[in-house]
Amino acid sequence: MTAPTAYEKHDHHQCIDEALLAARKICKKNGARLTALREQVLSKVWQSHRPLGAYAILELLSDEGQGHPAPPTVYRALDFLQENGLVHRLASLNAYIGCDAPGRAHDSQFLICRHCQITVEVASDSVSSALKTCAERRDFAILHSSVEIVGECPNCQQAQS
Amino acid sequence: MTAPTAYEKHDHHQCIDEALLAARKICKKNGARLTALREQVLSKVWQSHRPLGAYAILELLSDEGQGHPAPPTVYRALDFLQENGLVHRLASLNAYIGCDAPGRAHDSQFLICRHCQITVEVASDSVSSALKTCAERRDFAILHSSVEIVGECPNCQQAQS
DNA sequence: AATAAAATGTTATAATATTGCATTTTATCC
DNA sequence: GGATAAAATGCAATATTATAACATTTTATT
Ligand SMILES: [Zn+2]
Ligand SMILES: [Zn+2]
Ligand SMILES: [Zn+2]
Ligand SMILES: [Zn+2]
């Protein structure tokens, strides 16, 4: 099994299902409580491979008839999901996306298509080690790092020409 | 002459002066108008090696008795400065910092001390090329990229122990 | 000097995020 | 099982960051 690359057509329900399964497993291991609300937020985040803003998630929850939750509800769920490595926040977009490799410690590296917004998480060892070397050279102790690369995905480049 | 490393004690007035001089030169070359207001904003941004929020800049301008400018005033100046490569925006902090190498095209790479907030811009070729390779491998066309590494600067690490 | 373009001033408002406190749900202890 | 504590959620208000829309002023061009 190869992971779907997001750009390609794929059975996206599988992405959501896998994400939820992985999340349950990880939370169990961490002794963290993946409540119904948190699962709902996580599945909204996974509804596409595009980053989603907190207020967009809020609307989706409303639409689903879960009452009309207030912002803190969503932000708290997102905080929980981030703490448990299940979602990442993309600072340049004020938006959130499901983590592709939850459970493994890793920094945050993304390719973001400015056209279609499809965003893929990458886990480049050479990027990571370049960052590490760069920091070490300056005696800087890394706590966490984030890489956000904005550009055009293969599909959108083709559509252009 | 070696560039001050921000962590070390240095004559910071020189940083500000150099930044202003460089800015004038670049704007002249670009046919861009570095107005009094824009210079004021740029020097506020350079008042420390710490990223500064738009509203903080606004306050500094007020304190200086330039009247009480409104947010758009500052945001417009910051937009101008960014377009001309004189400041960078740090998305993870919603804050702005003077560019260390204006004039040369480069992506945005920073080491941010979460303790003292001192932030240094780095220009690591190995990071840049790792990013490039990583994107190419996925047929992703980079428009721009940003790297924000959060951790502890050498000074704050020492103070710890 | 007349005109157009660019920059700034001003007011209002949008978008994102947090604080503080009440209530409910879940876990823990006896 | 019932009492207690801890965690999660609901909810109202508000803080923070950023932009839109339009009037006025300044600067450049003719
Ligand atoms: Zn998918
Ligand atoms: Zn695309
Ligand atoms: Zn300095
Ligand atoms: Zn520090």
B108-113 and B119-121 as β-strands: parallel, antiparallel, unpaired? antiparallel
Q: Which two tokens stand for residue A147?
A: 């890489």
Residues A95 and A120 in one domain: no
At which of A101, A117, A139 does a domain end? A101
Mean pLDDT (chain A) is: 95
Q: Which residues of A touch B92 (CB under 8 A)?
A: 91, 146
Position A72 in a domain: yes
**Of A135, A128, A129, A96, residue with least CA distance to A112:** A96
Exposure class string for B21-57: b at 16+ Cβ within 10 A, else e: ebbeebbeeeebebeebbbbbbbbbbebbbbbebebb
Mean pLDDT of chain B: 95
- List the beta bridge partners of residue B89: B96
A1: confidence class by pLDDT, cuts 50, 70, 90: low
* Eight-class DSSP state of A52: B
* B144 and B73 within one domain: no
d(CA B109, CA B106): 9
Residue at B4 is within a domain:
no
Give the separation between CA B35 and CA B55, rounded to whole angstroms.
20
Which chain D positions have some atom within 7 A of a protein CB? 7-13, 16-21, 27-28
Instruction: Look at chain A and report how many structural domains it folds into.
Output: 2
Q: Give CA–CA dist B109/B90, Å, rounded.
A: 10
The answer to whether strand D lies under 7 Å from the CB of residue A38 is yes
Do A24 and A64 share a domain, yes or no?
A: yes
pLDDT at A2: 64
| Residue B12 parent element (H or E) | helix B12-30
Residue-number span of the structural domain to which A148 is assigned: 106-161
Is a pLDDT exceeding 60 seen at residue B69? Answer: yes
Whether the predicted pLDDT of B138 surpasses 60: yes
Reply yes or no on whether the pLDDT at A64 is more than 90: no
- A 39-98 residues inside an 8 A Cβ radius of B: 91-92
* Mean pLDDT of the B75-96 span: 98
Q: CATH no. for residue A146?
A: 3.30.1490.190
At A97-148, the pLDDT tens digits run: 999 999 898 999 999 999 999 999 999 999 999 999 999 999 999 999 999 9
pLDDT in tens, B39-64: 999 999 999 999 999 999 999 999 88
Give me the pLDDT at residue B64, please: 85
Asked whether residue A14 falls in the same domain as residue A50, the answer is: yes
- Check whether A39 has a pLDDT greater than 90: yes
The answer to whether B117 faces chain A, any CB pair under 8 Å, is no
